[in-house]
């Protein structure tokens, strides 16, 4: 695959899971909502997030909904004590797209991906030396480097399920800003290469006080009707604690994925 086409086809999932890890700590379970907008301001889809504790460690459940509220995709993320390199599975029922990282019977981990229901699935063993950043693990990585100096950068191997492997990316802290009276801390993710400056990048912005994710801009791992990754801006509401987490999560896990929005 040509390097210039890599970033638009990423399935990073950052916008889907970053705020969940942030909510862990004082509360046993949290819920939040987010909205994804096209470049022209149209609402493309909604996200409903839950994070809670399980025997597998921190677990995250995300439902992706059409603008009318019908769910069309679901993602599970389980960190198994490896917050930077969790297992995950994303299923988009509109085309039958699937991707993720799972554990095999021999204890090793494998990457898997299926483009649609008419395609054969592909898989490969995960090279975890060094451990790559996987999906929501980007949030854990950023929090571990929260005080990275402005304009400083770090290189990280990031998993790309569509490639059944990793690429080196550069994470750079951008200068802090004050937006609408809110102190904001910003980070950028882009390819770590000589031509990386010319390629699309992902920007994430956190509330500098609460460290809650506030905004994401870039290529999402949700696809349009043609199977191309969407360019979006996602605005996140503050996380809220939930009391009856078990019943709420079970309901979300059982909801049929009936949404058929084309997301053009």
**27 pLDDT higher than 90:** no
- Average pLDDT over all residues of the chain: 86
Instruction: For residues 221 and 12, give the distance between their C-alpha atoms in angstroms, rounded to a whole number.
Output: 6
Instruction: Indicate the domain borders of the chain.
Output: 3-254
Structure confidence at residue 163 (pLDDT): 92
Per-residue model confidence as pLDDT tens digits over 29-65: 999 999 999 999 999 999 999 998 888 788 999 999 9
Average pLDDT of span 254-264? 94
Q: Is it true that domain 3-254 has CATH number 3.30.450?
A: no
Asked if 11 contacts 229 with a C-beta cutoff of 8 angstroms, the reply is yes
Give the pTM. 0.87
Per-residue model confidence as pLDDT tens digits over 205-252: 999 999 999 999 998 989 998 888 999 999 999 989 988 788 889 999
């Amino acid at each position: 695959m040509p390097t210039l086409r890599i970033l638009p086809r990423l399935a990073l999932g950052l916008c889907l899971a970053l705020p969940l890890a942030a909510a862990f700590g004082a509360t046993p379970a949290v819920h939040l909502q987010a909205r994804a907008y096209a470049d022209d301001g149209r609402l493309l889809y909604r996200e409903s997030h839950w994070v809670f504790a399980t025997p597998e460690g921190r677990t995250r459940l995300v439902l992706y909904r059409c603008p009318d509220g019908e769910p069309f995709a679901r993602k599970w993320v389980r960190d198994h004590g490896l917050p930077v390199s969790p297992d995950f599975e994303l299923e988009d029922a509109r085309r039958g797209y699937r991707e993720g990282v799972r554990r095999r019977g021999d204890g090793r981990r494998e990457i898997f991906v299926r483009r649609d229901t008419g395609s054969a699935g592909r898989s490969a063993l995960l090279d975890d030396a060094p451990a790559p950043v996987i999906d929501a693990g980007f949030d854990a990585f950023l929090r571990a480097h929260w005080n990275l100096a402005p304009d400083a950068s770090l290189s990280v191997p990031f998993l790309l399920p569509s490639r059944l492997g990793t690429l080196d990316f550069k994470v750079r802290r951008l200068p802090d800003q004050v937006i609408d009276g809110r102190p904001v801390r910003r980070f950028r993710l882009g390819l770590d290469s000589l031509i990386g400056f010319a390629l699309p990048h992902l920007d994430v912005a956190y509330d500098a006080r609460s460290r809650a994710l506030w905004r994401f801009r870039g290529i999402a791992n949700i696809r349009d009707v043609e199977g191309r990754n969407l360019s979006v801006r996602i605005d996140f509401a503050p996380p809220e604690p939930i009391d009856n987490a078990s019943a709420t999560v079970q309901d979300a896990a059982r909801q049929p994925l009936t949404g058929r929005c084309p997301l053009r």
